[in-house]
Amino acid sequence: MADPRTPVVLYGGSGYVAGELFRLLAAHPGFRVAAFVSHSQVGQFVSDPFPHLHGAARGARFVGAEEALASVADCPAIAACFATPHGETARQVCAALDLIEGRGQQVRIIDLSADFRLPAETFARLYGTEPAAAQRLEQFTCALPDLAHTALAGTGTLQHIAHPGCFTTAVTLAAYPFLVRGWVEPDLFVSAVTGSSGSGRMPTGGTHHPDRAHNLYAYAPLAHRHEAEMRRLLTIDGREPEVEFVPHSGPFVRGIHATLRFRLRGERTLDELRGAIDATYAGSAFVASTAIPPQLRMVVGTNHARIGLAVRGRTLVVTSVIDNLVKGAAGGAVQWMNRLFGLAPESGLSHDGLGWY
């Protein structure tokens, strides 16, 4: 009997986010991984770089892009997720779309790189090169699935998705409820700490364990690329907020803890402020306020975001925690896929966290 689930072609090789995508999709009731693309590991077992996925992989092997797309040639609708590096992603996306569109299939792309998040001129300034697929930019919406009902996702039909970065996810979810209501001045300071998995699988001076463990330091202060994404996603009614962003490298593997500081335009009670968060995300299964300052253990391993508040006079401090690999990437991608294919938002994402890890 044919598998009724929608096939997904997964690009990303042995990267951490690609592994998370495979883990989530392997147990998804509405999707199946039809092919896992890797250009450097064709023929190798998926469980070789991901031994923790031995059961889910069940002997699956990496394939090349041509073989992957040929395997879904007879499917009327497919999804493709790209967890590949910026620059490289755009070229692969274009090749895939040219072939799939030529066959008359319905396809939805979820891109987790930066290639389709920003206008061409902004991308060129930040990344030092012109975008590799500027002609496709208008087909992609850069937004968060929990805010897909708002003007931040635009008013047109959603075709393909450029999922925002992990820092951007944590900050946008925390800031939007107050900016959209006009309760705060449109400028904010953000200090955020991320785990080492955010830097990818290949070791660098910033991710090598002896440098990272028992250590904490800022990097790219006021110069991180995600700052431009935050400004763009938090532009409301044409007014772009001033964002001052200082990221930090933390001595843990998974998670982001972000602290935002606002200036209130008038005094608000804690109940009012929490009510704004809960009202904004009343339709989301994943975002909620907390009565106590949120901790990474509340969300690691899940697609959840938790937001805490502190207020004194006109100073508002908002804290936000997510799992960078799940809510900040793979889980957000699956959540978008659920929406694009008409499934319940929590499909394949309702599992609880790890608690201890």
Sign of CA dihedral 48, 53, 59, 63: negative
Nearest CA among 42, 45, 36, 40 for reference residue 10: 36
| Tokens found for residue 150 | 């708002």
Crossing angle for the helix pair 226-233 and 120-127, to the nearest 10 degrees: 160
Give the C-alpha separation, 35 to 25, whole Å.
12
Helix count and strand count (H, E) for the chain: 10, 13
| Tokens found for residue 206 | 């910033």
Helix or strand or coil: residue 141? strand
Tell me what percent of the chain is helix, strand and coil, each rounded to the nearest 5.
Answer: 35, 25, 45
Give the C-alpha separation, 266 to 263, whole Å.
9
Half-sphere exposure of 184 (CA within 13 A, CB side): 27
| Tokens found for residue 265 | 């335009």
Give 236: exposed, middle or buried? Use CB within 10 Å, 0-12, 13-18, 19+.
middle
* Residue with tokens 């996810």, as numbered in its chain: 169
Q: Which residues are catalytic?
A: 166
| Tokens found for residue 333 | 């991608």
Q: Give the DSSP per-residue string, 72-135.
A: TTT-SEEEEEE---TTHHHHHHHHHHHHHHHTT-EEEEEE-SSTTTS-HHHHHHHHSS--TTGG
Element housing 60 (H / E): none
Strand ranges in the chain using DSSP code E only, listed in sequence order: 6-11, 31-37, 77-82, 106-111, 140-141, 160-162, 187-194, 217-218, 242-249, 256-263, 287-289, 305-312, 315-322
